[in-house]
Amino acid sequence: MDANYFVYQTPQFRVLSDQQIEKVYQATLECLHRTGVNVLNAEARELLAAAGAHVDGVRVRFPPHIIQDGVAANPRSFALWGRDPNHRMQIVPDRVYFGPGPTCTYFIDPQTGERRKSRRGDPGLTALICDALDNIDYVMSLSLIDDVHHRLAPVYEFAEMVANTGKPVLAWAYSVDNVSDIYQIALAAAGGEEAFRARPFFALFSTFQAPLQHTDDELASVFWAAERGLPIIYIGGGTAGLTSPVTGAGTLVISLAGALSGLAIIHLKQRGAAVCLGCVPEAVDLRTSRPAYGSPEMSLYSAAMSDIFRYLGLPLMGTAGASEAKVLDLQAAVESTVQVILSGLSGATLVHDVGFLDCADIGSLEMLVMNDEIIAMARRIMRGIEVSDDTLMLDLIDQVGPGGEFLSTRETAKRCREEIWTPTLTDRSAWVNWESAGAQTMHDRIRAKVAELLANHRPPPLPEGAAERIQAVLEAAEARVK
């Protein structure tokens, strides 16, 4: 009997060898022991001192066992739900999910096409489009609204997102007060604390700073979340030549040191907390000194981080679907495609920033829709080729024989949709048919799809009374900051 009857190899892209991964990891442990990091949260420093770290003011140097214990304490897998339980995500290495990012100062108005300041309503539109797109798995705001009190932007954004999607939401925050307000909104949307704790549908997205620094507010926020069992995304990185060494290897060390020291701190506070670390390791543009979000180096470094995190058995948040382009053009398509393909094939778990333009400064719904198609193509490649007695189809080949055709066979009709990807935006028609249908460009079709989804898609409704409870949370937050 053939023990290898069914063979299915998922395509994979690797940057680092096992020996290179081990060298980067050991260099990171040495960096944390010799150089250390700035920890600006007093409680975190106390926890680290008690665990055996060397604390000198705000500088903390980590003996390797603290980092290794933090890695060992992290769950190898955890679930993040949507309000619609069909949108459950299992956060585990090599299972890839795509979504947008937060904090864009500007937004492409879907009605006028103008670049304008992000404002109330934009996070809700983003969530609605994400909810409708098959290949966008979770929601972030794609905007930093500026028409509310500046300290409450994350709270208002979350309130809009959770009302307009049944998919998981990643929420960011400035402070513990923000996290507490967001948590209360989530309880209202879930119909109560018991229902939310059974199926948490948001995770806290928080950041560490390069090079080698953890801020007071960010650590206070993740501590609050960890104590309540909320999943945490803790992400940072380094810009090669700016906030990290100009070499790729040095940038990996800076990024990994920030991530692993943050992981260790979180587990000293709440051992076993569900944490997904993340990195946005990019290069500086040598002409402008801006981070180059669409550079090949970012995709290369991100794939290398995926190699390292797979070695450590940890999930990773990566980056793709973003561009330095200022509008949806050929540059945006090229940069997005390279990023999505490499992120998918390298196995990053949560891939964010889909929909970014202009170095993460502009959010675009059109960019989201275009990338939904790119992700669909990438996922077909990631699915690979099934090799089995059934798929080799030797009996069918013998039946059809030389000079025959397979189009009319029952096997083709049965399997064609699962074997051959069908686009929703890409045009494959003959010129005469394309011309007679209006000669639409890809951009024309993207605009039309955005308009159709905004007009017709309906997210799952909130529970009865939830909207009023959410409004009460917002009003209480407003009263607090006045």
- CATH 3.20.20.480 region(s) of the chain? 1-392+423-482
pLDDT cut 70: percent of the chain above it: 98
Asked if residue 116 has pLDDT above 80, the reply is yes
Burial class (CB in 10 A: 0-12, 13-18, 19+), 435: exposed
- pLDDT of 192-230, one tens digit each? 999 999 999 999 999 999 999 999 999 999 999 999 999
The full DSSP string for 157-200 is HHHHHHHS-SS-EEEE-SSHHHHHHHHHHHHHHHTSHHHHHHS-
Whether the Cβ atoms of residue 336 and residue 98 lie closer than 8 Å to each other = no
- pLDDT of 321-347, one tens digit each? 999 999 999 999 999 999 999 999 999
* Whether the bond into 211 is cis, omega within 30 of 0: yes
Sign, CA torsion 87/92/97/103: positive
Over residues 272-301, mean pLDDT: 92
pLDDT cut 90: percent of the chain above it: 94
Q: Which residues contact 237 (CB under 8 A, 6 or more apart)?
A: 210, 244, 251, 254, 255, 258, 278, 279, 280, 281, 282
How much is the mean pLDDT over the chain? 95
Q: Which residues contact 19 (CB under 8 A, 6 or more apart)?
A: none
Over residues 341-356, mean pLDDT: 95
Q: Which CATH architecture does the domain made up of 1-392+423-482 adopt?
A: Alpha-Beta Barrel (3.20)
Nearest to 333 by CA among 452, 165, 456, 445: 445
pLDDT for the residue numbered 9: 57
pLDDT for the residue numbered 10: 64
pLDDT for the residue numbered 12: 84
Note the pTM of the prediction, 2 decimals: 0.94
